[in-house]
């Protein structure tokens, strides 16, 4: 059974490609790195990773790796290219959301990536919900503490629309 861990981190991302390559070589595991400014709580990533694992288990995954499948679900998009554009890290990013799959030592992985753990970067906010793509109408329909639930609905809909 694949084990995953969700964490937030800080550090200057000089080159997203180099960070992704470093994630591919993590102690036999793999990882997804996302823009933490679009992550609406740790449950957002836990849900995306769980959906990705189920998709691989059923054989209806759209991506060839758990990392990319997780980005797909986390984005709420149906197309991988849109998902990566929306959720992917950009050069100069300082807040990173990570999902590590079967990585035995998250702290060692962070050190390898040149990042410091800071789970606060995952905390939800109105700004993040808007950046994620929730409309003013959607946001007005629920109390502020339910914004993350709207994001979780989008995550779940990806699986339904495949």
Check residue 162 and give its pLDDT.
Answer: 57
Q: Report pLDDT digits (tens) over 2-36.
A: 999 999 999 999 888 888 888 877 777 889 999 99
**What is the C-alpha to C-alpha distance for residues 5 and 23, in angstroms, rounded to an integer?**
13
- CATH classification at residue 130: 3.30.2380.10
pLDDT at 45 over 60: yes
Check residue 161 and give its pLDDT.
Answer: 66
Mean pLDDT of 142-150: 95
> Distance between terminal CA atoms of the chain?
24
Check residue 5 and give its pLDDT.
Answer: 96
**What is the C-alpha to C-alpha distance for residues 118 and 35, in angstroms, rounded to an integer?**
14
Number of separate domains in the chain: 1
Dihedral sign for Cα atoms in the order 29, 77, 8, 10: positive
Check residue 147 and give its pLDDT.
Answer: 95
Q: Report pLDDT digits (tens) over 81-135.
A: 999 999 999 999 999 999 999 998 899 889 988 999 999 999 999 999 999 999 9
**What is the C-alpha to C-alpha distance for residues 133 and 130, in angstroms, rounded to an integer?**
5
- Which pTM does this prediction carry? 0.94
Check residue 40 and give its pLDDT.
Answer: 97
- The two tokens of residue 28 are 């036999």
């Amino acid at each position: 059974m694949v084990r995953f861990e969700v964490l937030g981190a800080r550090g200057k991302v000089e080159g997203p490609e180099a960070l992704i390559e470093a994630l591919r070589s993590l102690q036999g595991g793999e990882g997804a790195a996302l823009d933490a400014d679009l992550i609406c709580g740790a449950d957002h990533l836990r849900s995306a990773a769980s959906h990705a694992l189920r998709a691989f288990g059923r054989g209806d995954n759209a991506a060839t790796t758990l990392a990319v499948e997780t980005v797909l679900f986390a984005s709420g998009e149906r197309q991988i290219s849109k998902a990566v554009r929306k959720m992917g890290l950009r050069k100069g990013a300082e807040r990173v959301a990570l999902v590590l799959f079967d990585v035995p030592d998250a702290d060692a992985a962070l050190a390898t990536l040149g990042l410091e753990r800071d789970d606060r970067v995952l905390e939800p906010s109105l700004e993040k919900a808007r950046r994620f793509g929730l409309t003013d109408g959607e946001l007005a329909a629920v109390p502020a503490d339910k914004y993350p639930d709207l994001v979780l609905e989008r995550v779940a809909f990806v699986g339904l629309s495949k």
